[in-house]
Chains A and B, each alone.
Chain A
Amino acid sequence: MNEWVGGYPTELVTDDTLGREFEERLRDSGTLAFRVAYGVLRHRQDAEDVAQEAFAKAYRSFRQLRDRERFRAWLVRTTWRLALDWRRGDRRRTARELNAVELEPPITEQVAADRERAAHLWKAIDSLPEKLRVAIVLSGIEGHATRDVAALLGIPEGTVRSRLFLARKALAEKLQWLTKTP
């Protein structure tokens, strides 16, 4: 059965239409949501769970989120919030990390060094204020220019530039001891 949308009958929207559109959004933005969640949680399974929950919420409100850009921006913000909530309430994560370390196969020295640097990097990013943190994480996701980050966050490009500047400056100060050569 069809139903009218908006004040004028400009389009007939069926549940099938919405389903197809949502499927398209899933293909288009599924990886984005996962990477945003991973940027907070750094755990693949948790990131998938959070991203799935974000998509479930998006599906329930999809009639108001049919525009692609609006959907992506909403998805990024919602995924970020859900990931933060997940992280605050997740007390099993520490134990899982310990178990993961114990179960890891032998790695090379280079890989170990990279992981240690990455751990320091994430620790520094986590210490940033949230507005700076989300900007630097979104900018780090491949393919996202400043205007893309601005569109996802719903803020002006100038604001994104300022936040990125401040974030990089803070990270440089926190990580400078790692870059200094003896």
Chain B
Amino acid sequence: MADKDAVDLPDDFERLLRQELVVEPSPAFAARVRVQMSEDRPAGSWRVWVLSYAAAAVIAVAVLLPLRRGPVTPSAPRVVPQPPLVTTSTPPPVASVGPPLKTAVSRPLPTSTRSAPPVPPATLEQPRVIVDRGQRAALTALIRMVDQGRLTAEAFAQTSPQTMQPIAEQVVPIGVVPVAVSTITSGGVLQNDSERK
């Protein structure tokens, strides 16, 4: 029972309040709650989570699968357009002069045996790494410097690339000293003058 305090609330009102609240729900109340329980699931039910994730996975597969089979549209290119079609991991070759370098870059360079054959962009389904990112940046900077005229042939001549790739149009003429062949005598002589006695 509620404690009585020193306040003159009439006893009959206390009794009346208790009487008003002595009410019972109908028998259908508990039944309705049980029906609603059977329709709901408690929070965190593993079945709910499993079904939710399974449904999400099925939807994701259904959405993504046709996209992966479809062609790449020109409006959404996936091929890196800027760098040349060099598919090796070696650094790009160093050009001897400015203008030829520009044309050389614009033309596709012969690829090494390690590279895959170039694929037309329209048929590419996934982005392909053509050159190393750092190499691409360096090549882009190089082209920009040549276009701006900041890079000359003399500057190139002073560079020493780590690797060289034979390129037909960039072959520097090699001065070959003709070999002097002396007349063959009866005793025979060595061709190389330094070995002559």
CB within 8 Å of B: which residues of A? 1, 3, 15, 18-19, 22-23, 26-27, 30-31, 34-35, 38-39, 42, 44, 47-48, 51-52, 55-56, 59-63, 114, 117-118, 121-122, 125, 136-137, 139-146, 149, 161, 164-165, 168-169, 171-172, 175, 179
Beyond A48-B26, A164-B3, 5 additional pairs, beta carbon < 8 A: A3-B46, A38-B23, A48-B29, A118-B20, A121-B13
Contact (A35, B36) CB under 8 Å given A140-B18, A172-B10: no
CB within 8 Å of A: which residues of B? 1-3, 5, 7-10, 12-14, 16-18, 20-26, 28-30, 32-34, 36-37, 40-47
Residues of chain B with a CB closer than 8 A to A165's CB: 5, 7
Majority DSSP secondary structure for residues of A touching B: helix
Q: Are A118 and B42 in contact (CB under 8 A)?
A: no
Contact (A161, B5) CB under 8 Å given A19-B37, A30-B30, A121-B17: yes
Bound complex: CA of A25 vs CA of B13, how far in Å?
31
Q: Are A56 and B40 in contact (CB under 8 A)?
A: yes
Distance from B29 Cβ to chain A, minimum over Cβ atoms (Å):
5
* Of A59, A145, A161, the contact of B36 (CB 8 Å cutoff): A59
Contact (A164, B2) CB under 8 Å given A1-B46, A51-B29, A56-B40: yes
Q: Are A63 and B2 in contact (CB under 8 A)?
A: no
Q: Are A30 and B25 in contact (CB under 8 A)?
A: yes
Q: How many A-B residue pairs have CB under 8 A?
A: 123
Bound complex: CA of A133 vs CA of B13, how far in Å?
15
Bound complex: CA of A165 vs CA of B4, how far in Å?
9
Distance from B26 Cβ to chain A, minimum over Cβ atoms (Å):
7
Q: Are A56 and B18 in contact (CB under 8 A)?
A: no
Bound complex: CA of A56 vs CA of B8, how far in Å?
41
Distance from B3 Cβ to chain A, minimum over Cβ atoms (Å):
5
